[in-house]
Chain A
Amino acid sequence: MARIIAGVGTSHTPAIGAAVDNGKTAEPYWAPLFAGYQPAREWMARTRPDVVIMVYNDHVNAFDFKIIPTFALGCAEDFPIADEGWGARPVPPVRGYPELAAHLVQSLVLDEFDMTIVNEMQVDHGLTVPLTLLCGTPQAWPCRVIPLAVNVIQYPAPTGHRCYMLGQAIRKAVASWHEELKVVIFGTGGMSHQIQGPRAGLVNPQFDRVFLDGLSRDPERLVRIQPLEYLRDAGAEAIELVMWLIMRGALGERVQEVYRFYHIPASSTAVGNIILESR
């Protein structure tokens, strides 16, 4: 059977992708960040998952405002890279896993998570930057990817509690798939940041540390964080962190933290990375 063996939490700041694409990773601004991700890249290369479930959000690229799905599961064979307004990132196309994605939809809907099914979708930096951070710059991505896009742009985003329960249902769904597959789930976005209005630039390292600790040791505390707390304490865009709770919910009760990295800034963002292995 297929198994979710680990979870990765990581920011997906677009400027990180641009730094890689434009050869700036050795510049003083960026070098500490990429050095900090090196152990995560090595972990990924050792772990060699067959499939990544990528929990991320679209940034007005695949979806405009005509339709705003709260949870959208990518069921396509391939996901082209979006042109977000400055040309598509020069990264390989993303290969999906339609058979497993269809199984996830079947299982999740019967488990009362009413997923939106997406059969054609471009993917933006929310999905490609985490792949770049963990996989580097290969000719082809080393695994198949099932995108799970979450609305965190128009309030209200789904609650942390709902996200955590969705993660639990994903764990169950993956475990009932017949192939022997190693699956790693990513929760992306965050950490604390605000990128709009006179309060732009707000970050909160204390909030982020408590969040990272909670992922490791007390996730049920994190699911009780209310949307307003994210807004007030960690910035308008910190609500993206609910996506990390889908990842955490999918790991089962016991986890082992194998890596953590934290860095300010990437553009306007406090960057966090955590790797949790399911025990």
Chain B
Amino acid sequence: MSEQPQRTARKEDLEAYEDIPGTWVFDAQRARQGYHLNEFLYSLMKDANRKEFLADEPRYTLKFKMTDAQRAAVLQRDWNKLLELGGVSYALAKLAFTDGKSYQYMASQMTGMTEKEYVDMMLKGGRSPEGWRSKAERAGKA
């Protein structure tokens, strides 16, 4: 087997993560910020917890050490804000499922499309990476 391929330095990696448009990379720092938020979302795997949450959402969220901003984003189903504040998409999906919504619904909300528009985009072959590789490329396209 070959030598270990050359790596990008860590700092450059982190800067490059931020340069990808429309994306919140779930790295160690973001995971740290999102820990209690994600533990809240994980709790929604249990039916009893889903029922308790839906019966009184603000009260249930107080059981977890989330920030006020995270709590507000949960109550508003502000999906992109939840990503920014450290939520990870697979955990966020459990909130969408608790609402009786699909993953595709949640994804469409993140893109600002209706669910139907989003499904149609995927049926037509999905979103091309052209114009979406970096913030500079995005600015050029916009």
Q: With a CB–CB cut-off of 8 A, which chain B residues contact A153? A: 26, 88, 90
Q: With a CB–CB cut-off of 8 A, which chain B residues contact A15? A: 103-104
Q: With a CB–CB cut-off of 8 A, which chain B residues contact A164? A: 1
Q: With a CB–CB cut-off of 8 A, which chain A residues contact B126? A: 201-203, 264-265, 268, 270
With A64-B42, A198-B21, A198-B22 known to touch, is A267 a contact of B104 (CB < 8 Å)? yes
Contact B4 A161 (CB under 8 A): yes
Other than the given A197-B83, A200-B118, A268-B122, 7 more pairs (CB < 8 A) read: A60-B42, A196-B23, A203-B126, A203-B127, A207-B129, A226-B8, A265-B126
Q: With a CB–CB cut-off of 8 A, which chain A residues contact B76? A: none
Contact A231 B7 (CB under 8 A): no
Contact A194 B23 (CB under 8 A): yes
Taken residue by residue from 1 to 38, chain B's Cβ proximity to chain A (1 for < 8 Å, 0 otherwise) reads as: 11011011000010011001111111110010001001
Q: Does B45 contact A (CB under 8 A)?
A: yes
Complex-state Cα separation, A237 to B60, whole angstroms: 31
Nearest-Cβ distance from residue A82 to partner chain B, whole angstroms? 8
Q: Does A223 contact B (CB under 8 A)?
A: yes
Nearest-Cβ distance from residue B92 to partner chain A, whole angstroms? 8
Contact B83 A196 (CB under 8 A): yes
Q: Which of B90, B103, B125, B127 contacts A199 (CB 8 A)?
A: B127
Nearest-Cβ distance from residue B24 to partner chain A, whole angstroms? 6
Residue of B nearest to A249 (CB): B1
Contact B2 A85 (CB under 8 A): no
Q: Does A61 contact B (CB under 8 A)?
A: yes
Q: Which of A110-155 contact B (CB under 8 A)?
A: 153-155
Q: With a CB–CB cut-off of 8 A, which chain B residues contact A65? A: 31, 35, 38-39, 42
Q: Does B107 contact A (CB under 8 A)?
A: yes
Complex-state Cα separation, A125 to B45, whole angstroms: 14
Q: Does B132 contact A (CB under 8 A)?
A: yes
Complex-state Cα separation, A76 to B104, whole angstroms: 34
Looking at chain A, what size class is its interface with the partner chain? Answer: 35 or more
Q: Does A243 contact B (CB under 8 A)?
A: no
Complex-state Cα separation, A251 to B118, whole angstroms: 39
A156, A201, A202, A234 pick with most chain B CB within 10 angstroms: A201
Which secondary structure dominates chain A's binding surface? loop
Q: With a CB–CB cut-off of 8 A, which chain B residues contact A264? A: 122, 125-126
Complex-state Cα separation, A197 to B35, whole angstroms: 19
A-B pairs, top 9 by smallest CB distance, nearest first, are A199-B22, A198-B22, A203-B126, A265-B122, A85-B97, A196-B89, A201-B127, A155-B27, A59-B90
Looking at chain B, what size class is its interface with the partner chain? Answer: 35 or more
B112, B121, B122 pick with most chain A CB within 10 angstroms: B122
Complex-state Cα separation, A199 to B28, whole angstroms: 21
Residue of A nearest to B93 (CB): A85
Nearest-Cβ distance from residue A210 to partner chain B, whole angstroms? 13
Q: With a CB–CB cut-off of 8 A, which chain B residues contact A194? A: 23, 127
With A60-B38, A154-B27, A165-B1 known to touch, is A232 a contact of B89 (CB < 8 Å)? no
Q: With a CB–CB cut-off of 8 A, which chain A residues contact B107? A: 195-196, 200-201, 268
Question: 19 interchain pairs (CB within 8 A)?
Answer: A60-B42, A153-B26, A154-B88, A156-B27, A195-B103, A196-B24, A197-B22, A197-B110, A198-B110, A199-B23, A200-B118, A201-B107, A201-B126, A203-B125, A231-B23, A232-B129, A264-B125, A265-B125, A268-B104
Q: Does B51 contact A (CB under 8 A)?
A: no
Contact B122 A267 (CB under 8 A): yes
Nearest-Cβ distance from residue A109 to partner chain B, whole angstroms? 19
Residue of B nearest to A267 (CB): B104
Q: With a CB–CB cut-off of 8 A, which chain B residues contact A50? A: none
Complex-state Cα separation, A155 to B17, whole angstroms: 10
